[in-house]
Amino acid sequence: MPYKYKIAADFIRHKIYTGIYRPGEKLPSIQTLSKELSYNSDTIVKAYKLLESEHLIYVFSKSGYYVVKSEVMVNKRNAVIDMVTACPPDSINPYKDFYHCMEKAISLYKKKLFEYSSAQGMLELINVLVKHMANFQIFTKPQNIFITNGSQQALYILAAITFPNGRTKVLVEQPTYPVMLQVMKCNKTPVVGIRRTHEGIDLNELESIFKQSDIKFFYTMPRYQNPTGFCYDSSQKKEIIRLAKQYNVYIIEDDYLADLELDTKADPMYAMGDQERIIYIRSFSKALLPGLRLGMAIVPKELQDEFITYKRSIDLNSPILTQGALEIYLQSSMYKFHMQRTKKYYKERMDVLRDACKQNDIAKCYIPPSGIYACLDIDGVSTDFFVNRLAKHNVLLSSTTSCYIEGFPHREGLRLCVCKTDDDDIRKAIKLISHKK
């Protein structure tokens, strides 16, 4: 049973979306709404505070609460359901807290934030990250951490540099992060694919590829993979690490959603294997703010000189102001509370998605316990058909086709992103998907 303040918030939210409460209009007083809903005034205050945190309403001192004027309030029934955009909703975006951290960073570091800095990254942030990463069972030294403009820059550099094993090809899961395929194409790096399902990969096939295919490194997202949401279990991780060591192959572990992990025993591969053979990267964009464009890479010593040379050729340093703000944010309680709220949000979205697929008899789907992506296999109909048909109903979907190497055989599939959806959005989208005609 939902809390009463959430029921009250839903009541007000519905009236905003349907235009009963219009932009700029003053909302009913706490006492008036309390009588109308038969709830006490504290419950109404909590409901208003929740809607204020979602930026649907604002408070004017000594006057009351008003509907936000800058929001485009449309009938919810005709609004776009976006299952493509990987951007946290306003309700959990920590930009107010992060803005405070930016102000604090300017006050604390002053002109240092506006001067040239080390290409490796701001030392204060790196030192904080050493302690922060220990919470994920990742233990390293400051000299091994490099701050990048998102994980994408780290991937680009790693694709371009020469590895000590002297090899040239990169192995990627199929499907995989589409930006990684673009990175390989821009670097003219030859790519080999290995099929990945919700059960993992064929380890015998992996060994055969490692043995015969001149593999420089294996790029993998062990948990909450983009585009599928798939997760490796511990035994698969260990066997991948063992085979990589046996055949002198490096591993790039992209742990972009480590913050959303629900299983405290699910260690990253970096914590389980040879740290001189595993490059660990992660982004702070997906779980915090997409425009933050800060990532980190833990790079083995023998790769560091060439890595930093390439990074300097791309930019002199990653943005210092956001590095300073991130350092303050990670040290504060803001990070802890934000992650608690974010984990809860994405778990609830996946629970609703799982239930909706079950209710509509969609069996060929993979819904992870958390994360931002899930996937559906489509039989007998092209994904373009689904994407185009649902677009006519204001539902935005994306195919997994762009996540495959050109020519790699694959099934038709849909990638579902839950970032910008609410419960009703998810149920409506899945119901429309279930009707194939």
Confidence of residue 139 (pLDDT cuts 50, 70, 90): very high
Say which CATH superfamily domain 77-94+335-434 falls into: Aspartate Aminotransferase, domain 1 (3.90.1150.10)
The confidence score (pLDDT) of residue 78 equals 53
pLDDT digits (tens, 9 = 90+) for 69-126: 644 444 454 578 999 988 887 778 888 888 889 889 998 888 887 887 889 999 999 9
How many other CB atoms are found less than 10 A from the CB of residue 431? 13
Per-residue confidence (pLDDT) for residue 436, from 0 to 100: 61
CATH 3.40.640.10 fits 112-333, yes or no: yes
Mean pLDDT for the chain?
Answer: 89
Separation of alpha carbons 11 and 313, rounded Å? 55
More confident residue, 139 or 107: 139
- Tens digit of pLDDT for each residue in 3-21? 788 888 888 887 887 677 8
**For 202-247, what is each residue's pLDDT tens digit?**
999 999 999 999 999 999 999 999 999 999 999 999 999 999 999 9
Share of the chain above pLDDT 70, in %: 96
Q: Give pLDDT, residue 1.
A: 52
Name the residue ranges covered by the structural domains of the chain. Answer: 4-73, 77-94+335-434, 112-333
For residue 157, pLDDT beyond 80: yes
Q: What fold characterizes domain 4-73? A: Arc Repressor Mutant, subunit A (1.10.10)
The per-residue pLDDT for 5 is 85
Measured CA to CA, the distance from residue 378 to residue 250 in angstroms comes to: 34
pTM of the model: 0.81
For residues 133-141, average pLDDT: 95
109, 163, 165, 305 from 249: Cα distances, Å: 42, 10, 7, 20
> pLDDT tens digit string along 23-81?
778 889 988 888 888 889 999 999 898 888 777 888 876 778 888 764 444 445 457 89
CA pair distance 276, 298, nearest whole angstrom: 10
308 burial level (CB within 10 Å; 0-12, 13-18, 19+): middle
Of the two residues 165 and 337, the one the predictor is more confident about is 165
CA-nearest of 182, 147, 84, 91 to 283 is: 147
Q: Report residue 73 as tokens.
A: 């309030």
Model pLDDT, residue 348 = 93
The shares of helix, strand and coil residues in the chain, as percent rounded to the nearest 5, are 45, 15, 40
Question: Phi-psi bin for 365: left (phi > 0), alpha (psi -120 to 50), beta?
Answer: beta
Q: Average pLDDT for residues 348-364, to the nearest whole number?
A: 92
CB of 431 within 8 A of CB of 354?
Answer: no
Q: Are 285 and 314 in contact (CB under 8 A)?
A: no
